[in-house]
Amino acid sequence: MPDKLKSPVKAALVVIGDEILSGRTKDANAATLALWLNEQGVRLDEVRVVPDVTERIIAAVNECRSRFRYVFTTGGIGPTHDDITADAIAKAFDVPLIDHPEAVRLLKAHYPKGEFTEARRRMARIPEGGTLIDNPISVAPGFQLDNVYVLAGVPLIMKAMLESLRHSLDGGAPMRSASLTVPMPESALAGDLGRIADAAKDVQIGSYPYYREGRVGLHVVVRSTDEKRIEQVIEDIKSVVSRFGVTPVDDPREG
Considering only residues 101-160, where is the footprint of its own copies by CB under 8 A?
A: 115, 117-120, 122-123, 137-138, 153-154, 156-157
User: For the window 66-95, what string marks contact with its own copies as x by the rule CB under 8 A?
Assistant: ------------xxxxxx------------
Could you tell me if 248 and 184 are in contact, meaning their C-beta atoms sit under 8 angstroms apart?
no
Segment contacting its own copies (CB under 8 A): 41-49, 96-104, 128-136, 161-169?
41-49
Residue 184 is a binding residue for its own copies (CB under 8 A)? no
Which of 77, 215, 216 lies closest to 154 in space, CA to CA? 77
Under the criterion CB under 8 A, does residue 173 sit at the interface with its own copies? no
Which 215-234 residues touch its own copies, going by CB under 8 A? 216, 221, 223
| Per CB under 8 A, 214 contacts its own copies | no
Contact 37, 43 (CB under 8 A): yes
The nearer residue to its own copies, 129 or 174, going by C-beta atoms, is: 174
Sign of CA dihedral 130, 156, 87, 49: negative
The reply on whether position 25 binds its own copies by CB under 8 A is yes
- Backbone φ and ψ for 249, nearest 5 degrees, come out as -115, 130
Least spacing, CB of residue 237 vs its own copies, in Å = 12
Report how far apart, in Å, the C-alpha atoms of 20 and of each of 25, 29, 55, 88 are: 5, 11, 18, 19
| Nearest-angstrom CA–CA distance, 139 and 161 | 10
